Amino acid sequence: MDPQIPAADQVLIGDEPGASAPPSPDGGLELRTVRPADAEAVHALCVSRLPDVPADKHRWLARWNWQYGNNPYRADRPAGWVLAEGGRIVGHLGAVYVPLRIGEQRTTGVIGADYVVAEDAIAQGGMFAGLRLAEAFFSAAGGCVALATTANEKTGAVFGRFGCRPAAWTKEFWRAPTHLWQQVRSFRGATSRVARYLLSGQGASTVTRALSWWYRRRGRGPAVPVPAGLRIETTVPQFAGDLGWIWEGFAAHEPDREQQRSWGRGGQSRTPLPASGPMVVSVDRTRAYLEWRYVRHPERESIRVVVARDGDGLPHGAATVFADQRGSRRVAFVEELITLPGRANVVRALLCAALKLAADLGAEYLLTTPGRPAIRHVFWELGFEPRARSAPAVVARLPAHPSPRPDAPQDWWQQHLDFWHGEMF
């Protein structure tokens, strides 16, 4: 059963009794659970050491309270740990709790986030300073599945010491500019192999420029390639309450081989496991989770949901788009994309609609993770550009065989992982 969502102004971060550790002889750093009073010091530390942390303290604190303190899946568990030297915070590792679905099992995951240690603390306590934070994180994980979803090389190495394995394909993300010529490339290429060839082969720039000129003359851009019988609508998270239904439809259904073949060259590289139950490995995107993740998000005014519906109003897929200001640049992210199984045409339509929305919102680029390996080819077809991270974004300590079969390969979960930018805490 999903927990109740706390009020937006209810802060639950606290120091659990007996959770503090005495000062360690390795440099005299105190390890303890995080407290509400630590917030500003943690922000200052994160800004000094981590990329993409908002410099706006009030913006970051609102997100911190939502992500950690008002997290409905945390219960009475610690929200993270700090290393303190006197009254100064020199290290932090947060714990973000999320509902997980692994095969047919539903459980709780704990994501290690905002993992940072000050340079002087590393010099003083050596590598063990960061390892103490990780040890506290994994010791408290208990029955939770431990993972990191914004892992860099150092985080991956530390979490690897505690049994986490990297999901190699999450090292990749995808980007497309929002210019008219990119819309021409994506929208026209979504429905025709011939158009994809003409718009991506030799002479593609000439064809694209000509089409762009033609659309400018008409005073409008190309139409989003919506599958027959569906329509695209854009709304705010508060009015997208039925998206959990799409997730249940995806998670509860194992596509048969014919459906898997319909994904084309984006299908699995090895023979699919028998359909002994759903094979999804993901955050469990129930209606309650989506309510917390987007409706309760402190920057929900920057979030839009693109939904593909049929004539009866039933959703067949949805993409959540977040427009973010990064300094002088505005970018948009596809946070989540959920469709009913085997609907690559709906995936294409939603990505195209997200690209147009990003342009309408003034974003320079639309970015996202691949989502899941089986749809990687769709990004190629739409002309998105692949970009590589320094390390896989996801490392996880998952059970070896939670559901499929005893002789399944140890990395089976990587092929069934459904992971989007929205899970990158």
Residue 395 binned pLDDT confidence (cut-offs 50, 70, 90) = very high
Which CATH architecture group holds 30-163? Answer: 3-Layer(aba) Sandwich (3.40)
pLDDT at residue 214, as a whole number = 81
Residue 262 binned pLDDT confidence (cut-offs 50, 70, 90) = very low
Q: Which residue has the higher pLDDT, 419 or 217?
A: 419
The CATH number, out of the four listed (3.10.450.50, 3.40.630.30, 3.30.460.80, 3.20.20.70), of the domain defined by the range 172-390:
3.40.630.30
How confident is the model over 318-330, as pLDDT tens digits?
A: 999 999 988 788 9
pTM of the predicted model over 0.75: yes
Residue 142 binned pLDDT confidence (cut-offs 50, 70, 90) = confident
How confident is the model over 150-182, as pLDDT tens digits?
A: 888 889 999 999 999 999 999 999 999 999 889
Q: Cα–Cα distance between 183 and 194 in angstroms, integer?
A: 17
pLDDT at residue 17, as a whole number = 35
How confident is the model over 14-70, as pLDDT tens digits?
A: 444 334 443 444 457 899 999 999 999 999 999 999 888 889 999 999 999 999 999
Average pLDDT value over all residues in the chain: 83
Residue 274 binned pLDDT confidence (cut-offs 50, 70, 90) = very low
Q: Is 202 exposed, middle or buried (0-12, 13-18, 19+ CB in 10 A)?
A: exposed
Q: Which residues pair with 98 in a beta bridge?
A: 109
418: tokens are 């459904």
Locate tokens 């490392």: which residue? 395
Q: Is 178 exposed, middle or buried (0-12, 13-18, 19+ CB in 10 A)?
A: buried
Domain ranges in the chain with CATH number 3.40.630.30: 30-163, 172-390
Q: How crowded is the C-beta side of 287, counted as CA atoms within 13 Å?
A: 11
**Average pLDDT, integer, range 409-415:** 80
